[in-house]
A and B are shown apart, each in its own frame.
Chain A
C-alpha cells in the first residue's frame, strides 16, 4: 500500500485527485440526467398530443 502514499503530501494529493474525479463524474451524471429527463418530457408531450 506504500504506492498510495506521497510522503507528507498524501492528504493534499489525494484530496485533489478525489475532488477532480468527483467533478468529472458529476458532470457526466448531470449531463446524462438532463438529456434523459428532456427526452422523457418530449416523449410524454408527443404521446399526449397523439391521444
Chain B
C-alpha cells in the first residue's frame, strides 16, 4: 500500500500517468457533458411545479458538487503533503483551488438565476447560499495566501493549514438545509434510495455529474503538470522531458 502511494507520489510517475490519462478523461467528459446537456434540456420532461426552470439543475448541481468535491480533494492533498511531506500532494492542492473556485462561482450564479423566478429574488442570506459564499472566500484566501508567500515550502505549509481548517465548511454546506430553516430545497441526488426525481430526470443529472467529475480530474492533471514544471525545474527527469519537447 505504502509502496503504491510512494510510486503515485513520484513526480516522474505522475507525469507519465497523467500524460496518458488526460486525453481519456477529456473525451469522457466531452461525451458525458454533451449527452447530459441534450438529456437535461430536451429529453427530461418539465417539472410539474417549476416547469422548464428546473432544467437549470443540470448545470447548478454538478457545479455545486465540484465546488465542494474540489475543496475536499484540495484539503486531503494538502493534509497528505503536510503529514507525509509528499511534494506532489502540495502541487495537486495548489492546482485544485482555481478549478474549485470557478465552479463555486458557477454554482452561486446559476443558483441565483434559478432563485429569481422561483423565490422572487436573486439572493437571500440563507444558510446554504451563505456557506457556499464562504467556500468561495476560502478558495480566494487559499490562493491569496499561496501568492503572498515567496518561499514555496512555507507557502505550501501555510496554505495547507488553511485548506484543512476550511474543510469544516463542507459538512456545514451539506447539512445547512437540514440544520436550518432555508429557502433552498433539500438534497436531490443523495435521495436515490427513495427517489425524489423521476428516472427520466435523474439519469441526465447523473450523466452530467459524472461528466463534470471527469472534467475536473482532466483539468486538475493539466494544472498539476504545470505546477510540477515550476517545482521540479532543476530535476534531471524534468530536464529530460523538456529537452525531448
Q: Are B52 and A6 in contact (CB under 8 A)?
A: yes
Main SS of chain A's interface residues? helix
Chain B, residue nearest A44 (CB): B242
Shortest CB-to-CB span from B118 to chain A, Å, is 9
Interface residues on A, range: 20 to 34
Main SS of chain B's interface residues? helix
- Residues from chain B with a CB closer than 8 A to the CB of A45 are 233
- Residues from chain A with a CB closer than 8 A to the CB of B114 are 12, 16
Of A7, A8, A31, A45, which is in contact with the most chain B CB atoms at under 10 Å from its CB? A31
Shortest CB-to-CB span from B100 to chain A, Å, is 11
On chain B, the number of residues with a Cβ less than 8 Å from chain A's Cβ atoms is: 39
Q: Are A20 and B110 in contact (CB under 8 A)?
A: yes
Q: What are 18 A-B residue pairs whose CB atoms fall within 8 Å in the complex? A: A6-B52, A6-B55, A7-B51, A8-B117, A9-B55, A10-B52, A12-B113, A15-B113, A17-B41, A20-B106, A20-B110, A23-B63, A27-B98, A27-B219, A32-B222, A35-B226, A45-B233, A46-B243
- Residues from chain A with a CB closer than 8 A to the CB of B41 are 6, 13, 17
Chain B, residue nearest A6 (CB): B52
- Which residues of A are interface residues toward B (Cβ below 8 A)? 3, 6-10, 12-13, 15-17, 19-20, 23-24, 26-28, 30-32, 34-35, 38-39, 41-43, 45-46
Q: Give complex CA distance A7, B219 in Å.
A: 35
Q: Are A12 and B226 in contact (CB under 8 A)?
A: no
Q: Are B33 and A24 in contact (CB under 8 A)?
A: yes
